[in-house]
Amino acid sequence: MAQWPHERSLVKNLAGKPFALIGVHIKYGGDDDASIVKKVMVKAQLNWRSFVDRGAIADKWKPAGTPAYYIIDSKGVIRFKWAGAPGAKAIYAALEKLIQETEKDAKKSPK
Amino acid sequence: MLFMSVALAEVEGQDKPATPAEKYQALLKERQDAKLPLKFLELAEENPKDPVALEALIQTVSIVNGTAFPTGGKDSPGERALTLLRRDHIRSDKLGLVCQQVLFGFHKSHEEFLRAVLETNPHPEVQALACLSLAQFLTDRLNRLDLIKDQPDLAERYRGVFGKDYLEELQRQDRAAVAKEAETLFDRAAERYADVQIPVTYFGSGGAVGDKAKAELFQIRHLAVGKEAPEIDGEDQDGARFKLSDYRGKVILLDFWYRL
C-alpha cells in the first residue's frame, strides 16, 4: 500500500519516543484470520502491532474506508482524525506536536 | 394513474401529440442525454397539474445529485426543480428519496428544502428522511468547515469548486450551534423514526433510520476530536489479546487498514 513506506519510517524514526502505531485490520467481506494478516505483515515488513478485526471494531468505529487514521494523545483523547490518507507531512506534524506535549508533561510531573 | 394514461394513449393511436406521461416514459429511456435534467424539468414546468410533473421533478433532482459535486447556479435545472417541489409538492409522500439525494448538496437551497419538508410534510416516513438527511447535511457542512480550518489551502480549492458565496457562508457558520442541531436531529430520528427504511441511493446502501442515526450519534459523542477514544479489545496478528488502553501514556497513531 502507498502509505506503508511512510509508516515504516515513522515507526523507525520515532523509536524511543512515547509513540505507538497500532493497526486495525478491517475484514470487509472476507473472513481473514490472523494468520493471513500476519503473512502480509511479515512480507511487507510492517513492524507494528495490529488488531485483526472480526467485525466488532468496524461496527463501532465505522471507518468510511481504508486507510483511516485517528491520533490519540497520551491521555487517551482523540486529537486528530482523517478519512483517507492526509499525507505523510500532516501525520508527522500532528504526532510531533503531541509527542512534544507528552514529553513536556513528563518533565513537569516526574514519576 | 401514470400507467393508465399511457395505456389510453396506446388505444387512441399515435397521431395525437404525446401525453405528458408518454413524454416522461420516452425521457426515461434517454439515459445518456446531458440535457436530461433540463428536459424533465421543462416537462414538469409545462404540465404542472399533471401527476407526471412530480415524477419528472424527482428525476431532475436525482440525476443532478448523482455526483458528489452537484454544482449549478440558481437557475440550474436542479435548483429550479427543488423550487417547484417546494411550491407544488411539499406535502407529497414521495419526497423521502429526494431528501436523501440532496443531503450531499451544499447550496442554501438544499438546506432550505430539507427544513421545509421537515416542517410541512405530514407523512412520518418522509419526515423521518427529512430529519435524518438534514442532520447528515449539517454534519457534512461541519466536516468541510473543519477541513478548511485544518488545511487553509483547501479553502482556495473550495472557492473554485463550490464558489465564493459558499465559502464565505461556510466560514460564517457557528460550529457549536450547527453541531448541536445535528445531534438533536439525529436523536429525534433515532427516537421517533427508528424503523423507517432508508431508500438505496447512489451514495447509500439503505438500512433503518434508527441504526444510521445511532451510528452517527456514536461518532459525535465518542469518536469526535476531543472525546476520549473508546476502548478496543481484540487480538493481534499473532493471536495475542490486547487493548488499546494498554498504550495509555503514549501517543497512538491508530491506523485502519486492509491487507491488499
**Any CB–CB contact under 8 A between B258 and chain A?**
yes
**Any CB–CB contact under 8 A between B257 and chain A?**
yes
- pLDDT at residue A80, as a whole number: 93
Distance CA B178, CA B189 (A): 16
Distance CA A24, CA A69 (A): 10
**Any CB–CB contact under 8 A between B251 and chain A?**
yes
Distance CA B143, CA B181 (A): 14
Best residue in B149, B238, B241, B256 to probe A by mutation, most A CBs within 10 Å? B256
The phi and psi torsions of B254 (rounded to 5 degrees) equal -95, 120
Distance CA B47, CA B129 (A): 28
Cell of B203: 451514495
Residue B29 in this model has a pLDDT that exceeds 50: yes
Half-sphere exposure of A10 (CA within 13 A, CB side): 28
Choose the closest CB to A24 out of B219, B223, B255: B255
Question: Is B259–A37 a contact, with Cβ atoms under 8 angstroms apart?
Answer: yes
Half-sphere exposure of B197 (CA within 13 A, CB side): 5
Residue range B119-134, pLDDT digits in tens: 999 999 999 999 999 9
Distance CA B63, CA A3 (A): 35
Task: Indicate the pTM of the whole model.
Answer: 0.81
Residue B115 in this model has a pLDDT that exceeds 50: yes
**CA-closest candidate to residue B4, choices B26, B14, B19:** B19
Q: Which of A42-56, A79-93, B43-57 is the least confident region? A: A79-93
Which strands, in side-by-side order, build the sheet including A78-83?
A49-52, A19-25, B251-257, A68-72, A78-83
Please name every residue paired with A68 in a beta bridge, in sequence order, or none if there are none. A83, B256
Choose the closest CB to B239 out of A28, A34, A71: A34
Q: Where do the domains of chain A lie, and which CATH numbers do they carry?
A: 4-108 (3.40.30.10)
In this structure, the strands spanning A19-25 and B251-257 are parallel
Question: Is A1–B251 a contact, with Cβ atoms under 8 angstroms apart?
Answer: no
- Averaged confidence pLDDT in chain A: 90
**CA-closest candidate to residue A79, choices A66, A96, A61:** A96
> How far does B180 lie from chain A, in Å, by closest CA?
19
Residue B71 in this model has a pLDDT that exceeds 70: no
Residue range B194-224, pLDDT digits in tens: 999 998 876 677 899 999 999 999 999 999 9
Q: Which residues from B are below 8 Å from A53, CB to CB?
A: 234
Residues 39-58 of A with CB under 8 A from B: 40-41, 49-54, 56-58
Question: Is B253–A69 a contact, with Cβ atoms under 8 angstroms apart?
Answer: yes
Report yes or no: A6 and B239 within 8 Å, Cβ to Cβ.
no
- pLDDT at residue B15, as a whole number: 64
Q: Which of A41-45, A80-84, B37-41, B47-51 is the least confident region? A: A80-84
Question: Is A70–B254 a contact, with Cβ atoms under 8 angstroms apart?
Answer: yes
* Strand, helix or coil for residue B255: strand
**Amino acid found at B177:** A
**Any CB–CB contact under 8 A between B226 and chain A?**
yes
Cell of B210: 434508527
- Averaged confidence pLDDT in chain B: 88
Q: What's the sign of the alpha-carbon dihedral B27, B33, B37, B42? A: negative
**Any CB–CB contact under 8 A between B234 and chain A?**
yes
Q: Is the ipTM of this complex over 0.90?
A: yes
With cell 404540465, the residue in question is B47
In this structure, the strands spanning A19-25 and B241-243 are unpaired
**Any CB–CB contact under 8 A between A11 and chain B?**
no
* Strand, helix or coil for residue B2: helix
Report yes or no: A57 and A31 within 8 Å, Cβ to Cβ.
no
Choose the closest CB to A62 out of B215, B228, B237: B215
Q: DSSP letter string over chain A?
A: -TTHHHHHHHHHHTTTSSEEEEEEE--TTS---HHHHHHHHHHTT--SEEEE-SSHHHHHH--SSSSEEEEE-TTSBEEEEEES---HHHHHHHHHHHHHHHHHHHHHS--
Cell of B67: 455526483
**Any CB–CB contact under 8 A between A9 and chain B?**
no
